[in-house]
C-alpha cells in the first residue's frame, strides 16, 4: 500500500471498470494501461503510463489519429504524446489517485478534441522549441546590439556544442567553472533582429537546408529573410567554413548553423553562389542564455532596473554582509560594466563560522578577500573588488550606492556623516539578541539618518518595541564579548536590505525605515515609515 491508502490491485480494478486495460509494468516505476480517449464523443486509442506510487498525473500517448492531419499540431508531439496539463498547474491529490487519474484522462480527451478541431494553433508559437533545435548552444552576449559575434566550439562536453560570446575572457571564466575550455579558432556568427515571433510550418517541418529556411522566413518577415540570406551568402563567397545565425525575435532567440560544403567545379565555370547556399544543410540551434543580464533579470520579471552597471560598495563582510553580498551578485551587481566592492579589514575566526556565509576553508583569512574569491567562483565574470582596509581610509564619494552591513552604530553614523549628502546609503542590522532586523536608507537630504533616529528624543519614538531592546552579551576572555543570535537573523537582515534596495531601484521605496520582528512574543511599536531628518543632527544636517 502506498501513501494513497489504495492497493494497486484496487486501482487497476477501478480503471478496468472505466474501460482501461492494465498491460503490465513499464520500467521500474510505471504501470502501463490502454484504452480509449473520449474526444467530444469520439474515441481514440491511447496508452498511458501511471507512476506505481500513484502520486502523479498519467503520461498519455495517442495511438490512432486521422490520416489527413497536418504534420505539426499544438500539444501533440510527433510520437503522439499529448500535453494536456502545464507542469505545476495542478496539485495532484495523493489521497484520491483513482479520481485524479480519471479527471486527467478526461482533460486529455478535451485537449485532444480541441487539437483535432483546429483550435489552439496559436499555441504553436509558445511551443516553438518543442519543434526546433538539434544542437544546444550557449549565448553569453551582453545587450541587444545586432551584428557579428564570434562563436567557439567547446571542448570536453556533450551538453552543448559551442558558445557565442562578445567577451571571450569572461565566457572562458564561466566555462572553466564547468570544467570546459574553448577551441582557439572562432566561428563567424551573424545576429539579426525580427519583430515577428516564430511560428512553425504545419507541413515540411522543420527546414532541412538554407533554402527551405529562407522560404519559411519569407512568410514570417521578408526583411529578416533578406538580411539572413545576404549575410550567409557573403560568408560563403569569402570562403568561410561555417557560419552561425542568431535570430532575435520577441520573447525568444533561435537560430541555426551551416557547415558549408562547396561543390567541385571545372576551371572557369561560372558560379551561382546563392543557389549553392540554398542547398546547404543546416542544424537548428537551441540557445541557452548564460549572460549576466539574463541571470540577473530572470527572477525579477518586469523590473525596470537592476544592479547591473551600478557601482555598489558593501562595508562589513561579516555575518550580514557575507549573505547580502551573495544576494547582490545574484541581482546583477558587478556586471554590465558595474562593480561590487567589499570592504572589511577583519579576518574570519572560528567564532564566526556558526553564522557566516564562509566556512572552514576561509578560516584566519581576510573576510573581504575570501568572500570575493567565493563569489567569483560562484559567478565567474562578475567584477568584484576586495578592500582589506579600514573603510575610513577610502574615498567613496563617487559610488552608486553604499551599504553598511557592520551593525556597528558608531560606524554607521560616521558613514552617514561622511557620505549621505552625496551618496545613497543603506544600513542594515540585527536588533539586540536577534529580536528583530532593521534597515534604514537615506538617499535624500529630507530623510533621517541613523543618528537622527537613535538620539534623544527620537530614539524612543522610533524604537522597535514598546520596551527598550535588552542588551545581551556572551563570551569571555580571549574570545571577546558578542551578541548571541542564530544564523537566520543576519540572513533576514540581508533579505530586508535587498528588498529595500530593489524598491529603491524601481523608484518605489515608500518607507526608508523598515523592521521585521523575529521574536513573536514582542509587539512592534514602530511600523515601517519614512522618518524626517532632525534639525541640528550633527551627522547629516548641513
Which residue is listed with cell 537582515? 493
Q: What is the mean pLDDT of the chain?
A: 89
Q: Has residue 216 got a pLDDT over 80?
A: yes
pLDDT value, residue 2: 63
Confidence category of residue 306, pLDDT binned at 50, 70, 90: confident
Which has more pLDDT, 40 or 367? 367
pLDDT in tens, 234-270: 999 999 998 999 999 987 889 999 999 988 776 666 7
In Å, how far from its chain's centre is CA 471? 41
Cell numbers standing for residue 456: 534623544
pLDDT in tens, 32-72: 999 999 999 999 999 999 999 999 999 999 998 888 777 77
pLDDT value, residue 472: 64
First to last CA, the chain: 75
Q: Which of 205, 199, 227, 16 is nearest to 123 (CA)?
A: 199
Q: How many CB atoms lie within 10 A of CB 370?
A: 25
Q: What percentage of the chain exceeds 90 in pLDDT?
A: 60
User: Dmax of the chain from CA atoms?
Assistant: 97
d(CA 116, CA 79): 16
pLDDT value, residue 432: 86
Q: Out of 83, 137, 224, 317, pick the active-site residue.
A: 83
Mean pLDDT computed over 523-540? 91
Which has more pLDDT, 265 or 21? 21
Q: How many CB atoms lie within 10 A of CB 479?
A: 11
Q: How many CB atoms lie within 10 A of CB 334?
A: 29
Is 373 catalytic? The answer is no
| Cβ density class 90-115: b for 16+ within 10 Å, e for less | eebebeebbebbbebbebbbebbbbb
Q: Out of 104, 137, 317, 452, pick the active-site residue.
A: 452
Q: Has residue 27 got a pLDDT over 80?
A: yes
Q: How are beta strands 384-387 and 339-343 bridged, if at all?
A: parallel
Residue 502 sits at φ, ψ, to 5 deg, of -65, -40
Three-class secondary structure of residue 175 per DSSP: helix
Q: Has residue 480 got a pLDDT over 60?
A: no
d(CA 356, CA 358): 5
pLDDT value, residue 124: 66
pLDDT value, residue 146: 60
Q: What share of the chain is helix, strand, coil (3-state, %, to 5)?
A: 30, 25, 45
Q: Has residue 483 got a pLDDT over 70?
A: no
Helix (H) and strand (E) counts for the chain?
14, 21
Cell numbers standing for residue 197: 515571433
Q: Has residue 151 got a pLDDT over 60?
A: yes
Spatial contact of 317 and 371, defined as CB atoms under 8 Å apart: yes
SS3 string, 295-307, reads: HHHCCCCCCCCCC
Confidence category of residue 467, pLDDT binned at 50, 70, 90: confident
pLDDT value, residue 380: 92
Q: Out of 224, 449, 537, 540, pick the active-site residue.
A: 449
Q: Which has the minimum average pLDDT: 100-104, 123-127, 284-288, 328-332?
A: 123-127
Residue 465: strand pairing partners: 524
pLDDT value, residue 478: 53
d(CA 279, CA 257): 14
Q: Has residue 1 got a pLDDT over 60?
A: no
Which has more pLDDT, 248 or 204? 248
**H or E segment and range at residue 228:** helix 222-237
Cα angle 382, 383, 387 (rounded to 5 degrees) comes to 130
Cell numbers standing for residue 91: 496539485
Q: Which of 490, 487, 514 is nearest to 500 (CA)?
A: 514
Distances from the Cα of 499 to the Cαs of 139, 171, 342, 343, 485, in angstroms?
Answer: 29, 30, 20, 22, 22
Eight-state DSSP code of residue 24: E
pLDDT in tens, 308-320: 999 999 999 999 9
pLDDT value, residue 214: 96
Cα angle 102, 106, 108 (rounded to 5 degrees) comes to 115
Give long-range contacts, CB 8 A cutoff, 24+ apart: 255-259: 255/137, 255/284, 255/285, 255/287, 256/213, 256/282, 256/283, 256/284, 256/285, 257/135, 257/137, 257/187, 257/282, 257/283, 257/285, 258/210, 258/232, 258/282, 259/283
Distances from the Cα of 440 to the Cαs of 98, 402, 420, in angstroms?
Answer: 55, 12, 12
Q: Which of 201, 141, 96, 509 is nearest to 335 (CA)?
A: 141
d(CA 162, CA 259): 14
Mean pLDDT computed over 446-469? 87
Is 345 catalytic? The answer is no
Please state the pTM of the whole predicted model.
0.83
Confidence category of residue 16, pLDDT binned at 50, 70, 90: very high
Rounded to 10 degrees, the C-alpha dihedral 300/304/309/310 comes to: -90
Burial class (CB in 10 A: 0-12, 13-18, 19+), 305: middle
Amino acid at each position: 500500500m502506498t501513501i494513497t491508502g489504495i492497493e494497486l490491485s484496487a486501482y487497476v480494478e477501478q480503471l478496468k471498470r472505466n474501460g482501461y486495460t492494465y498491460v503490465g509494468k513499464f520500467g521500474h516505476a510505471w504501470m502501463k494501461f490502454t484504452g480509449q480517449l473520449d474526444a467530444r464523443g469520439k474515441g481514440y486509442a491511447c496508452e498511458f503510463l501511471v507512476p506505481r506510487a500513484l502520486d502523479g498525473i498519467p503520461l498519455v500517448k495517442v495511438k490512432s489519429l486521422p490520416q489527413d492531419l497536418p504534420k505539426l499540431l499544438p500539444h501533440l508531439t510527433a510520437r503522439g504524446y499529448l500535453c494536456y496539463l502545464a507542469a505545476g498547474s495542478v496539485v495532484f491529490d495523493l489521497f484520491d489517485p483513482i479520481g485524479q487519474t480519471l479527471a486527467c484522462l478526461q482533460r486529455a480527451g478535451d485537449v485532444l478534441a480541441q487539437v483535432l478541431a483546429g483550435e489552439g494553433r496559436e499555441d504553436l508559437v509558445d511551443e516553438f522549441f518543442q519543434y526546433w533545435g538539434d544542437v544546444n548552444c550557449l549565448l553569453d552576449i551582453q545587450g541587444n546590439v545586432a551584428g557579428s559575434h564570434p562563436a567557439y566550439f567547446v571542448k570536453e562536453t556533450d551538453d552543448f556544442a559551442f558558445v557565442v560570446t562578445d567577451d571571450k575572457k569572461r565566457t572562458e571564466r564561466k566555462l572553466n567553472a564547468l570544467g570546459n575550455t574553448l577551441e582557439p579558432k572562432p566561428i563567424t556568427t551573424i545576429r539579426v533582429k525580427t519583430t515577428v515571433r516564430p511560428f512553425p510550418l504545419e507541413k515540411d517541418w522543420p527546414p532541412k537546408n538554407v533554402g527551405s529556411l529562407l522560404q519559411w522566413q519569407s512568410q514570417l518577415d521578408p526583411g529578416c529573410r533578406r538580411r539572413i540570406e545576404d549575410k550567409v551568402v557573403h560568408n560563403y563567397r569569402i570562403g568561410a567554413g561555417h557560419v552561425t545565425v542568431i535570430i532575435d525575435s520577441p520573447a525568444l532567440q533561435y537560430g541555426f548553423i551551416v557547415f558549408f560544403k562547396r561543390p567541385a567545379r571545372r576551371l572557369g565555370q561560372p558560379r551561382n553562389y546563392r543557389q549553392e547556399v540554398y542547398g546547404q544543410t543546416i542544424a537548428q540551434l537551441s540557445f541557452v542564455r548564460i549572460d549576466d543580464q539574463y541571470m540577473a533579470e530572470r527572477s525579477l520579471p518586469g523590473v525596470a532596473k537592476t544592479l547591473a552597471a551600478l557601482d555598489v560598495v558593501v562595508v562589513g563582510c561579516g555575518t550580514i554582509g557575507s549573505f547580502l553580498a551573495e544576494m547582490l551578485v545574484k541581482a546583477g551587481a558587478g556586471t554590465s560594466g558595474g562593480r561590487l566592492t567589499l570592504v572589511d579589514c577583519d579576518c574570519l575566526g572560528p567564532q564566526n563560522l556558526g553564522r557566516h556565509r564562509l566556512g572552514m576553508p576561509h578560516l584566519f583569512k581576510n573576510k573581504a578577500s575570501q568572500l570575493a574569491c567565493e563569489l567569483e567562483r560562484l559567478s565567474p565574470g562578475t567584477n568584484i573588488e576586495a578592500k582589506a582596509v579600514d573603510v575610513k581610509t577610502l574615498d567613496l564619494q563617487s559610488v552608486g550606492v553604499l551599504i553598511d552591513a557592520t551593525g556597528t552604530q558608531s560606524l554607521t553614523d560616521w558613514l552617514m556623516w561622511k557620505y549621505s549628502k552625496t551618496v545613497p546609503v543603506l544600513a542594515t542590522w540585527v536588533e539586540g539578541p536577534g529580536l528583530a532586523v532593521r534597515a534604514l536608507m537615506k538617499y535624500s537630504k529630507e530623510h533621517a539618518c541613523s543618528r537622527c533616529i537613535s538620539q534623544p528624543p527620537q530614539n524612543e519614538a522610533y524604537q522597535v518595541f514598546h520596551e527598550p531592546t535588552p542588551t545581551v552579551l556572551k563570551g569571555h576572555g580571549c574570545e571577546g564579548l558578542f551578541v548571541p543570535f542564530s544564523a537566520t537573523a543576519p540572513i533576514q537582515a540581508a533579505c530586508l536590505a535587498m528588498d529595500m534596495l530593489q524598491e529603491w531601484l524601481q523608484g518605489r521605496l515608500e518607507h526608508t525605515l523598515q523592521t521585521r520582528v523575529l521574536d513573536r512574543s514582542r509587539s512592534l511599536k514602530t511600523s515601517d515609515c519614512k522618518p524626517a531628518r532632525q534639525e541640528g543632527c550633527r551627522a547629516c544636517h548641513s
